[in-house]
Amino acid sequence: MSLAGTRAVPLLASRPVDRRRFVLLMAAGVLGAAVGRGTAELVEDPPSRSGRQLRPAAATPTQPPGTVPPPLGVVDRLPGEGSRLALTVDDGVSSDVVAAFTDLAADTGLRLTFFPNGCYRSWTDNAPALRPLVESGQVALGNHTWSHPDLRALDDAAVADEIETNRRFLADTFGAGETPFFRPPFGSHDGRVDRIAADCGHPTVAMWNGTLGDDRVLTPGELMASARRWFAAQSITIGHANHATVTTVFNELRALIDERALETVTLADVWAAPH
């Protein structure tokens, strides 16, 4: 389908803060700070593996989960200290792999954050099974664009179109409320992309500091080596619902989580706007 021309209002830097963003920023308690800093300070943050702690609204260990507002800017690990692990699963090239992750969550209570690309039919195929998990909060959703382009290569209107089309898809398919989370395809983003995502209602750019490495086809051994390297307390780890390998090691992944006494959480368990 053509993505051109589906957005009536161009997203320009000078455009007034729109209602959705205003509400989100108010909810996040950062409107004053955002206006004071100017969005120009949403500078490019490369995909970091450093475990760097990120700025506004970083939790202290005493703050219970789910009460920290979503930060304006980039996150790549969970805030504070603890034993939480945020498993995030992207794309959805394979309907079978999305179905397997959905079954895994339903069968085990594992908490997951999906970053779907709506262009893949896997999400509509599995929507009936996923919807109750989304409604209960066991599965959270973030926006990963409609068709997974490198956003830095697109002009402002096309970036906004990719994000808006997917935002509407997630709302229509899962009945989900607004999600603050945005993950740029390939981790490719800069201050301009971040600003447009925020204008589209996603103030928080959810990067990662651990990876299963499964954006390419791995052997089960290679995938588990990645998991052993990266599954750690307060990590945001990225995986993909694209290739079947991961579905062959679900039991091993769960055993590793148990062995390390990690508690899986969704990003929305950690960062949730007050109601």
Give the binding site for Zn ion (CB under 5 A): 90-91, 185
Q: Take residue 157 and report the two structure tokens written for it.
A: 């209107």
Determine the Cα–Cα distance for residues 125 and 244; give it in Å rounded to an integer. Answer: 17
Cβ 251 to Zn ion shortest distance, Å: 25
Cβ 124 to Zn ion shortest distance, Å: 18
68 versus 89: smaller Cβ distance to Zn ion: 89
Determine the Cα–Cα distance for residues 240 and 258; give it in Å rounded to an integer. Answer: 21
Contact 248, 223 (CB under 8 A): no
Q: Take residue 57 and report the two structure tokens written for it.
A: 């609204």
39 versus 122: smaller Cβ distance to Zn ion: 122
Cβ 240 to Zn ion shortest distance, Å: 7
90 versus 194: smaller Cβ distance to Zn ion: 90
The residue at minimum Cβ distance from Zn ion is 90
Do β-strands 235-240 and 204-206 pair in parallel, antiparallel, or remain unpaired?
A: unpaired
24 versus 151: smaller Cβ distance to Zn ion: 151
- In this structure, is the dihedral angle defined by the CA atoms of residues 258, 262, 263 and 264, taken in order, positive or negative? negative
Phi, psi of 211 (to 5 degrees): -145, 145
Cβ 36 to Zn ion shortest distance, Å: 33
